[in-house]
Structure 1
Amino acid sequence: MSVREVAALLRETGPALVLTGAGLSTESGIPDYRGPDGNRRVTPMSHQEFTATSEARQRYWARSFIGWQRFSAAEPNDGHLAVTDLQRAGALGAVITQNVDGLHQDAGTREVIELHGSLAEVVCLTCEGRVDRGLLQALMDDANPGFASRALGSVVDGSRVSSQIRPDGDIVLADEAVTTFVTPRCLACDADTLKPDVVFFGGAVPKPRVEQCYALTEAASALVVLGSSLKVMSGYRFVRRAAARGIPVVVITRGPTRGDAETTHRIDAPLGVTLAALTRAVGAQVA
């Protein structure tokens, strides 16, 4: 399948619904959980593990405290910018993203539904109080002077290499490096149950959000999947729904996907250069 064929489809169908995954953000320096072969490279902390003990939350926040410095500095790449351009050209419509990095919004994309939430917000599981992640970072910095330099010095690569950071802002640190970390507490109720407002593995996407995405899928003229292996059902279910309704499904990503049987148009290629080419093709046709 060629870029020009996909461009022709988008011109024929009108604004397509978009589903994006972690593969779209890899060119921004945020590696995904799986390699091009679809196999998981790292195992993220699960919802059950995070909520089970204070020690698990201490481990998560210590690692996230370090990872946030790099994660929050990531900028939209050519793929994100192309999605915005294609939206402005009328080829793409609303975007359902499985990513929690906010890079679509930073690129100027409109109508973004964050399926798994956003790392920019933190919620207390005890009282439901909320705090901005940037403010929480500053509070953790004050409560843990010198922790970053000690923790980064405790591992050979300093956890600075891109293979260490994860799509949820977590990184790899040895357990012994986090035992002195002071876990952040809720500003309202003082509980140590603060959690980024994202759906961890094993958690459930809020039902109203799922229903909103189903409604968008059923009304779509086409569904375009970008940078997702569709291994996780939370995103794959929309591909299944679209295919069941006879809606064309375009997939642009590296490697095989779980939804290959439901795909009508498939491009196995890097996202940035491919979406830039698609923008040019659509622009040439629109003009």
Structure 2
Amino acid sequence: MRVSVPNIPASFLSRTTTPQVSVTEAVDKLSAFLSSGNVTLLTGAGVSVDSGIRAYRGQDGRYTNPNYKPILYHELTADTEKGRAFRQRYWLRSYLGYPSVRDALPNTTHCALSALQYSGIIPRLITQNVDGLHHKALAMTPSSPVKVHQSILELHGTLHRVRCKHGHLVDRNAFQEWLSIANPQWKAFADEVERTGNQPRTNPDGDVAIEHLGISYETFVVPDCPSCLMENRTNNVHKPDLIFFGESITEHVRQRSYRDVETADRLLLMGTTLATYSAFRLLKHTLELQKPVLMVNIGPSRSDGLEKVEKLDIASRSIIRQVVRNVLGTRATEDPIIEKLLNSGISKPPSADDDDRYPRATG
């Protein structure tokens, strides 16, 4: 089986980058784009960078890790000895890396976007991210869990749930506990990491690079699914409830993503290169419907050169709070929920000299 890792075509990467706009110009253009409301927003990894979660690609549009070798869906789920080895590798790395994603906090962009969601300007948000940070930010409003779920579509799933091959779903924290019980030596290692704060380098998909430690994966135990055991069968084939390379999004998610675009008057793209086709086809569908599109993203993207897509080559953090104030006017100061959101959020991006010398393991 041959599976291609999504990427931006080389012809796009070689083009002259979009001229950068001033902060004032970018604020004015994005404010005007949002002012009439009913906007659907599509976000990517760039939105979560200020929460300390690394993006897949740098500002040049290329993968930050030149040795990028994700585990593919058919490799992780194969009921073979080789598949078992892939699962040991994946789950050890993910076991150590997940706490950083679990504990990550919404940044200023997440919180400002939640103000626009709460106020009805952006009633539908589609995210390619699997970190759950949009949910955390919107949970700061009086919105019910049901409304939060209805307002945000996780196009590629989430790291916060785990599903076995027979469909049994479990909360990720519970699964982490299963892994701790099955691997007391790694639980001790994880506890020492937490005590010292010497966290191994966490990748954007929630695992850590540990090859440089000379570690063997062969002794790591991936436990059987308790629900399967109750059904008198053994099964240790688990995957996070997200889409791996080589796996398709469900028909339900695909159709809902189309509806979210069709229901909107316009589409806003933020922090995404649109390298994955599941995201790019939403842009194509929007353009077929002849709806306005605006992108806010630094560096090359798959949409570059498309005449009907206006692009602001600027970091969202530098403009989004002022944009919300412009769009909402006096409500930005009179509504305590919105005022709180505009004063919330962290800004702790990875250091500019951060590199990625070790391969990632996830889709």
Same fold (TM over 0.5): yes
Question: Is 1:2 matched with 2:47?
Answer: no
Match of 1:183 in 2: 222
Q: Counterpart amino acid of 1:49?
A: E
Q: Which moved more, 1:143-152 or 1:277-286?
A: 143-152
> Contact 2:92 / 2:217 at 8 angstroms: preserved in 1?
yes
Alignment-derived partner of residue 203 in structure 1: 247
| Match among 281, 284, 287 for residue 243 of structure 1 | 287
Identity of aligned residues (%): 35
- Asked whether 1:281 is paired with 2:311, we answer no
Map 1:38-49 onto structure 2 (within 5 A): 38-42=61-65, 43=68, 44-49=70-75
Q: 1:270 aligns with which of 315, 323, 328?
A: 315
Q: Contact 1:226–1:252 at 8 Å: present in 2 too? A: yes
Question: One-letter code of the match for 1:80?
Answer: H
Question: Which of the pair has the greater relative contact order for Cα pairs under 8 Å at 6+ separation?
Answer: 2
Contact kept in structure 2, 1:250 and 1:266, CA below 8 Å: yes
3-state SS of the aligned residue for 2:120?
Answer: coil
Give the counterpart of 1:32 among 21, 42, 55. 55
Spell out the pairing of 1:1-287 with structure 2 (5 A cutoff). Answer: 2-12=26-36, 14-42=37-65, 43=68, 44-52=70-78, 53-108=83-138, 110=148, 111-125=151-165, 127-147=166-186, 150=189, 160=199, 164-174=201-211, 176-189=215-228, 190-262=234-306, 264-284=309-329
Distance 2:206 2:238 in 1: 15
Q: What is the alpha-carbon distance in structure 2 between the residues aligned to residue 249 and residue 211 of structure 1?
A: 20
- How far is 1:152 from its partner? 10
Gaps of 5+ in 2: 1-24, 140-147, 229-233, 333-363
Q: Which amino acid aligns with 2:204?
A: P
Contact preservation (8 Å) 1:221, 1:247: yes
Consecutive unaligned residues in structure 1, runs of 5 or more: none
In the aligned structure 2, how far is the partner of 1:149 from the partner of 1:229? Answer: 39
> Does the C-alpha gap of structure 1 residues 149 and 254 become closer, same or farther in structure 2, counting only changes over 3 Å?
farther
SS in 1 for 2:205: coil
Partner deviation per Cα, 1:5-37 (whole Å, 9 max, x = no partner): 22112213x220010111111111111111111
SS, match of residue 146 in structure 1: helix
Asked if structure 1 preserves the Cα contact closer than 8 Å seen for 2:77 and 2:238, the reply is no
Whichever of the two has the greater Rg, that structure is 2
Aligned to 1:169, what secondary structure does the other structure show?
coil
Answer whether contact 1:101 1:119 (CA < 8 A) is retained.
yes
Offset at 1:129? 1.3
Contact 1:65/1:137 (CA < 8 Å) preserved in 2? Answer: yes
SS at match of 1:131: strand
Q: In structure 2, give the amino acid aligned to 1:139.
A: W
The 3 A distance-change label for structure 1 pair 280 and 27 is same
The equivalent residue for 2:15 is none
Per-residue CA deviation, residues 24-83 of structure 1 (Å, 9 max, x unaligned), is: 111111111111111112433221221231000110000000001211110110011011
Aligned length: 280
In structure 2, relative to structure 1, the CA distance for the partners of 1:178 and 1:271 (3 Å cut) is: farther
Deviation of 1:113 after TM superposition, in Å, equals 0.6
Displacement after TM superposition at 1:181 (Å): 1.2
Q: Tell me which amino acid in the other structure corresponds to 1:188.
A: S
Paired residue secondary structure (1:251): strand
Contact map agreement 2:303 2:309 (CA 8 A) in 1: no
Q: Aligned-pair distance for 1:231?
A: 0.9
CA distance in 1, matches of 2:330, 2:29: 11
